[in-house]
């Protein structure tokens, strides 16, 4: 498999107390925290290209643009889908969408940019 537009993956999260704004310190209400949602969005981008890269390569996030549109209560499940929409050399752009699994209400949308790197060289520079 090779990296190409159209690759996609969906990652689900069922919101627990540990995923809330209260638990993560990003707010004072017990709803899905934006930082946790963003982590799941990034996980979906990683999953979308899993198997498409040589084992010596990985991707790292470089840019995130997200609109968190709808609060999600503890116990609800959110489906996060990432689709690779653009490949320019090592640069990859993903459209990300989060929807309530049951109601299909839009929870968030955005774009995440990742860059393909050689895993060993990347870590050696740290």
Catalytic residues: 34, 42, 68
**Cα 83 to Cα 4: distance, rounded to the nearest angstrom:** 10
| Contact predicate 82/93, CB 8 Å | no
> Is 25 annotated in some ligand binding site?
no
Q: What is the CA radius of gyration of the chain?
A: 15
Phi-psi region at 125: left, alpha or beta (left = phi > 0; alpha = psi -120 to 50)? alpha
> Is 36 annotated in some ligand binding site?
no
**Cα 118 to Cα 56: distance, rounded to the nearest angstrom:** 6
Binding residues: 61, 114
Binding residues for substrate: 61, 114
Binding residues for CoA: 61
């Amino acid at each position: 498999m090779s990296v190409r537009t159209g690759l996609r993956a969906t990652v689900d999260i069922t919101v627990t107390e540990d995923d809330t704004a209260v638990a993560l310190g990003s707010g004072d209400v017990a709803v899905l925290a934006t930082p946790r949602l963003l982590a799941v969005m990034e996980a979906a981008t990683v999953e979308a290209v899993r198997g498409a890269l040589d084992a010596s390569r990985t991707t790292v996030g470089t840019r995130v643009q997200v609109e968190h549109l709808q609060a999600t209560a503890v116990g609800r499940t959110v489906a996060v889908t990432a689709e690779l929409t653009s490949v320019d050399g090592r640069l990859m752009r993903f459209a990300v969408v989060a929807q309530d699994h049951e109601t299909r209400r839009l929870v968030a949308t955005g774009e995440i940019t990742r860059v393909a790197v050689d895993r060993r060289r990347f870590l050696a520079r740290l």
